[in-house]
Structure 1
Amino acid sequence: MKSHRWFTPWLLLAPPVIWVLVFSLWPFINTVVLSFTDARPLQPVSPVGLANYERLLTDEQFRYALITCMIYVVVCVPLLTIVPLLLALLVEKKIPGIALFRTTFYFPVIASVVVVALIWSWLFDSRGIINQALEWMGVVDQPIAFLVDRWWLLATAILLTVWKGIGYYMVVYLAALGNVGKELHEAAMLDGAGAVRRFISVTIPSVRGAMLLVSVLVAVSAMRVFTELDILSNGTGGPGGYDISIVMLIRQVGSGLNGNLGYAGAISVALFLLTLIPLIVIALLNREKKAKVSA
């Protein structure tokens, strides 16, 4: 058999490596460099040191964006960690027609988030179907300001994010539940454990790794939320910009011929550091778990 040339593996690795360098590593480095300048389109660039980062500490809009993303994380992480697990427990049972339920729960995942957000903006409009239905049933006397009020808008966006993400994380849990031995549940049943007790003592410990993974994925996605809030608020970030997200703020600051690319770069670096927090947390938890196992 004829051996391969020594450079064959490098030829195979070259395309993905070049792609990562050009479209991931270089933009990241350039963003970090720009964050220390006053870069603007079509204007000379000059260094400003830590001025952009100092501005972050006193920027009211950045504080609003940070609060919005923190609320998103606090609400979405528990919902998208527990609810998909419960759904996975329901749809893993082999009963007639269960495939239809799995497809129904997964359908929002494959739907375009832009299209779904537009549909939700029509549904929750002051003259939308939701308000009309509530008025017709006599639940409310006047339309609820789902897309105008600060907290209603944030709640609607979170509900959209949860509804769209449930199916994806349900599939993750289905894969994890497939590795849980049935003998564990049978042993718990022999000991007199009910459904709730088996869920707490058998199911959760068995899928703890998947739960940590889902929690991190949800936390990172929540910090980077954009489309839901952007479309539901029509790009304004809600009344007074209270519901603006960090990614929306980056777009707002860095867009146009007068965009402040340096300050937008500083916000981007801050967002990157914030998304590292969940990754560090899961790394520490995994280290503690390995230490307990080895002990």
Structure 2
Amino acid sequence: MRRSLVAWAFLLPALVLISLSVLLPALMALVMSFTASGLDVTEPLRFVGLANLQRLLSDPMVRRVMLTTFLYFFGVVPPIVVGSLALAVLVNRGLPGSHLMRSAFYTPVLVSIVVAAIAFRWLYAENGLINGWLAVLLGPAFTPIGFLTSPQLALPAVMVVTLWKGLGYYMVIFLAGLQGIPKELYEAAELDGSEGWRQHVDITLPLLRPYVSLVAVVSSIAATKVFEEVFLMTQGGPADSTRTIVYYVYDQAFAELEISYACTLGLALFLVVMLFTLVRLAFSGDRALI
């Protein structure tokens, strides 16, 4: 009993902070999703039942932003999982300069998202570096490409920033898993005739399955909740082509002052994230890292 009390005493400050900063606001948001808030924040909230939910189901913009969010998800998560695993295998081979490559691949993680977004806006500009290089390569007939002003190119352009910043972070997770695999397994596999990429299929991928599950779920949640890149680079445009669910929540809460409706949208986002978590638990079982 005494040891338990000591443990809870150490946990109490963190529990209080989490309750005040996470649990209590989440509970308030849940309550507000059943109310109506006007432009005057001093007015008392009116209970409206499921009116906000009905509005969400009939809102065409919700379907648009959910589609954009899922496009962002499928454009970011698979490349991050495959790319970070490939980078981890590359830098784990002990090649000359591998430590330098690890630092180079991890450096984007240390760059602030604000700095990264501003830098890529300069790169994507019609008079920016990328269009400048293309003009030199293709000649005077080249027409500058509007990476952030074209509805077809804006979303992939924002995805590149997420990939650039995320590959090094998830590479470190895979690298930790790779360094935990005994080298004797590869030596034994080589004696059995397994060489090159076949060793990764027979040994690396099965033993890294918990890490693949972890990276897939964490990157999925991050992609579903993407906001900073969109806010700093496109503001949801052009023509709402980059407006994601989180940006729509922000827009409704702070631009339109529809706080109650924004809370309902946030609840829908929570259910989507919980769905990803349940799918991950169903497929990972006891092999999960978290």
Q: TM-score, normalised by structure 2?
A: 0.92
Residue 132 of structure 1, CA deviation: 1.4
Give identity over the alignment, percent: 34
Do 1:109 and 1:167's aligned partners in 2 also have CA atoms closer than 8 Å? yes
**Does residue 1:137 correspond to 2:121, yes or no?**
no
- Deviation string for 1:103-145 (max 9, x for gaps)? 1100000110111011101110111110111111107720111
Q: CA deviation at 1:78?
A: 1.1
Give the corresponding residue for 1:182.
183
Partner of 2:252: 253
Instruction: Find out whether 1:105 has 2:105 as its counterpart.
Output: yes
- Aligned partner of 2:120 in structure 1 is 120
Indicate the SS of the match to 1:238: coil
Partner of 2:280: 282
Indicate if the aligned counterparts of 1:216 and 1:278 stay in contact, CA closer than 8 A: yes
Report the aligned-residue RMSD.
2.0
**Which residue type is aligned with residue 210 of structure 1?**
Y
SS in 2 for 1:150: coil
Per-residue Cα deviation, 1:173-213 (whole angstroms, up to 9, x for no partner) = 01101121222222222222231211222111110110010
SS in 2 for 1:76: helix
Question: Aligned partners of 1:80 and 1:185: how far apart in 2?
Answer: 26
Alignment of 1:221-232 (within 5 A): 221-232=222-233
Quick one: which of 6, 15, 18 aligns to 1:17? 15
Question: What's the TM-score, normalizing by structure 1?
Answer: 0.91
1:8-157 to 2 correspondences below 5 Å: 8-40=6-38, 41-138=41-138, 141-157=142-158
Alignment-derived partner of residue 205 in structure 2: 204
Range that drifts further, 72-81 or 10-19: 10-19
Range that drifts further, 202-211 or 54-63: 54-63
Q: Is the 8 A contact 1:224 1:246 kept in 2?
A: yes
Query: Partners of 1:198 and 1:75 in 2: how far apart?
Result: 28
Alpha-carbon distance between aligned partners in 2 of 1:252 and 1:56, rounded to the nearest angstrom: 15
Superposed CA deviations along residues 244-264 of structure 1, whole A, max 9, x for unmatched, are 0111111110115x5011100
Q: Which amino acid aligns with 1:86?
A: A
| Distance (Å, rounded) in 2 between the aligned partners of 1:96 and 1:243 | 41
Contact 2:154–2:238 (8 Å) recurs in 1: no
Unaligned runs of 5+ in 1: 291-295
Task: Check conservation: 2:155, 2:241, Cα contact below 8 A.
Answer: no
Which ranges of structure 2 fall in alignment gaps of 5 or more residues?
none
> Can you list the C-alpha shifts for 1:55-100, whole angstroms capped at 9, x where unaligned?
1112122222111110111121211111111111111133443211
Counterpart Cα distance in 2 of 1:288 and 1:86: 25
Q: Tell me the distance in 2 between the aligned counterparts of 1:170 and 1:5.
A: 39
Match in the other structure for 1:293: none
Q: Which residue of 1 aligns with 2:217?
A: 216
Aligned equivalents of 1:10, 1:285: Cα separation in 2: 33
Alpha-carbon offset, residue 288 of structure 1 = 8.1
Amino acid of the residue matched to residue 120 of structure 1? F
Structure 1 window deviating more from structure 2 (61-70 vs 115-124): it is 61-70
Distance 1:204 1:44, change over 3 A: same
Q: In the TM superposition, what whole-angstrom CA distance separates every residue of 1:220-251 from its partner, at most 9, and x where no partner exists?
A: 00100011111111x2x112213101111111
The CA distance in 1 between the partners of 2:53 and 2:277, in whole Å, is 23
Taking structure 1 as reference, are residues 209 and 8 closer, same or farther at Cα in structure 2, changes over 3 Å only? closer
